[in-house]
């Protein structure tokens, strides 16, 4: 009895004792851990891809501009009618604003987006012969186009490596302690220094996929996370495996993805058309 009490007291004392601060991670150790996370995400999401439907650089550029402050799903449900009405920059530049506004209304902020898209299309028509330029410096001069949009287009329409720092990407790289920077341009610069250029575009897709499917903003599914042993923020979300699995989204949870026309190797279900949800 005394031995049991002593053991219990020792356990209680040990639990109450202040924990030692975790050993600071060196920059080299962080880089190695970051690259291992990328390798493991590549195994989890070998089918990672841009989640906007597009058939050419112009469609990707327009869809990416439309995706501001809405979901990729809503954009994908809206662009078929938009591109049927305005298949080229010349067509879009000559649009009747009120008619375009009505088409893109589901994406929100439709008046401002119409103005940006018509200005963008006019710039492509007048300055680039109706073609989307394949250089960052040219893309960011277009109305409504910043570095994030430019990198999406360069990486996925032109094969030019780029890091896309959206809200998911920024949140996860901070959770993983790759950087504590908040500014997207600074985040991009830090991450670019960790990975070889050849990895930038696919890294972006993998991180965004993980953020949308498992490592959510409010309640990450820590207990169902395949990279949990590498995550210094493990425990911020649900750690019970069964409860965590119920938090999984898109194909991980058995639900449709965001694209109406996903790549052939996508293991999930295509998204429904507008009005068919």
Mean pLDDT of 169-179: 98
- Return the higher-pLDDT residue of 9 and 141: 141
Q: Which sign does the torsion angle of CA 98, 103, 108, 113 carry?
A: negative
The pLDDT score that the predictor gives to residue 23 is 72
pLDDT of residue 215: 98
Q: Is the predicted pLDDT of residue 14 greater than 80, yes or no? A: no
Residue from 114, 50, 52, 113 nearest 77 by CA: 52
Q: What is the pLDDT of residue 166?
A: 95
The pTM assigned to this predicted structure is: 0.89
* Residues labelled catalytic: 148, 166
Q: Name residues whose C-beta falls within 8 Å of residue 244's C-beta, 6 or more positions apart in sequence.
A: 221, 222, 223, 224, 225, 237, 238
Please, are residues 259 and 271 in contact by the beta-carbon 8 Å criterion? yes
> What integer pLDDT is reported at residue 22 of this predicted model?
53
How many other C-beta atoms can be found within 10 angstroms of the C-beta atom of residue 105?
A: 14
Q: What is the pLDDT of residue 60?
A: 98
């Amino acid at each position: 009895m005394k031995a049991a009490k002593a053991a219990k007291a020792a356990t209680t004392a040990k639990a109450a004792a202040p924990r030692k601060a975790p050993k600071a991670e060196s920059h080299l150790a962080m880089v190695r851990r970051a690259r291992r996370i990328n390798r493991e995400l590549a195994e989890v999401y070998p089918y990672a891809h841009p989640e906007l439907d597009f058939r050419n650089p112009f469609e990707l550029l327009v869809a990416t501009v439309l995706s501001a402050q809405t979901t990729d799903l809503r954009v994908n449900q809206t662009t078929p009618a938009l591109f049927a009405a305005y298949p080229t920059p010349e067509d879009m530049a000559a649009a009747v604003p009120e008619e375009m506004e009505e088409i893109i209304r589901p994406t929100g902020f439709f008046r401002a987006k119409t103005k940006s898209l018509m200005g963008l299309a006019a710039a492509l028509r007048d300055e680039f012969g109706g073609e989307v330029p394949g250089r960052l410096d040219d893309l960011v001069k277009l109305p409504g186009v910043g570095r994030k949009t430019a990198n999406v287009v360069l990486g996925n329409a032109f094969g030019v490596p780029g890091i896309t720092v959206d809200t998911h990407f920024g949140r996860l790289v901070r959770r993983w302690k790759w950087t504590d920077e908040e500014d997207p341009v600074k985040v991009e610069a830090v991450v670019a220094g960790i990975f070889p250029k050849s990895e930038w575009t696919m890294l972006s897709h993998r991180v965004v996929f993980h953020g949308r499917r498992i490592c959510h903003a409010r309640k990450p599914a820590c207990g169902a996370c395949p990279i949990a042993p590498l995550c210094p923020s493990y425990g911020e979300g649900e750690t019970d495996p069964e409860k965590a699995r119920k938090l999984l989204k898109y194909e991980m949870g058995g639900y449709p993805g965001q694209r109406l026309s996903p790549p052939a190797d996508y293991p999930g279900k295509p998204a429904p058309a507008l009005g068919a949800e």
